[in-house]
């Protein structure tokens, strides 16, 4: 759900292993600036492109085809609530069903793998629609492991370590 700019900054920090707050404040060490420059070059050389605005299911299909033509092997969709349809639906559940069907069409007709990031509700179920759960080939549930994670504090130089537990909720055909 981030803008291109915020996502780029976060990726730079991750690749360079640099606290971006230090770079923003101008307090990064020379070695950290060097790692940020190297990370920037890696990102420029990558084939990754980001579309950070809302789109329709038709635009998503067109985006998928274009990305496939450019050699992409994976399409990541973050927050399906920003995917719209030209059709008018009675409720969000029907819209999510149409979005899920569009994802299947991109996978099957365009031949592009799709990673859909979707929120869980309070009952740890896929929120909005069971269609995502039904149509998915693989469902991984990520949960923050508070016990083993290390929060950012002044004492550890704001160097946090977030540990995620991964549970396979569905694996169709053992893929």
* Burial track 40-59 (b if 16+ CB lie within 10 A, e otherwise): eeeeeeeeeeeeeeebebee
Distances (CA, A) of 158 to 6, 7, 52, 65, 150: 19, 20, 28, 42, 10
- Widest CA span in the chain: 57
Both structure tokens of 40? 């920037």
Both structure tokens of 19? 């606290």
pLDDT at 86 over 60: yes
Query: Length of the chain, please?
Result: 175
pTM exceeding the 0.85 threshold for the entire prediction: no
The pLDDT value given to residue 92: 80
Are 109 and 68 a contacting pair, CB within 8 Å?
no
Q: In the structure, what pLDDT confidence band is assigned to residue 114 with cuts at 50, 70 and 90?
A: confident
113-117 and 83-84 strand pairing: unpaired
């Amino acid at each position: 759900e981030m803008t291109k700019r915020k996502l780029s900054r976060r990726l730079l920090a991750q690749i360079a292993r640099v606290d971006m707050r230090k770079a923003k404040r101008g307090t990064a060490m020379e070695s950290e600036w060097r790692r940020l420059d190297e990370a920037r070059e890696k990102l420029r050389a990558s084939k990754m492109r980001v579309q950070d605005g809302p789109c329709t299911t038709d635009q998503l299909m067109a985006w998928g085809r274009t990305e496939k033509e450019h050699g992409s092997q994976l399409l990541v969709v973050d927050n399906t609530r920003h995917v719209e349809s030209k059709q008018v639906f009675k409720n969000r559940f029907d819209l999510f069903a149409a979005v899920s069907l569009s994802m299947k069409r991109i996978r099957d007709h365009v031949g592009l793998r799709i990673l859909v990031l979707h929120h869980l509700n309070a009952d740890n179920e896929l929120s909005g629609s069971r269609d995502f759960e039904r149509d998915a080939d693989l469902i991984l549930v990520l949960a923050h492991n508070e016990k083993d994670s290390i929060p950012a504090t002044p004492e550890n130089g704001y160097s946090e370590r977030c540990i995620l537990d991964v549970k396979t909720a569905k694996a169709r055909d053992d893929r």
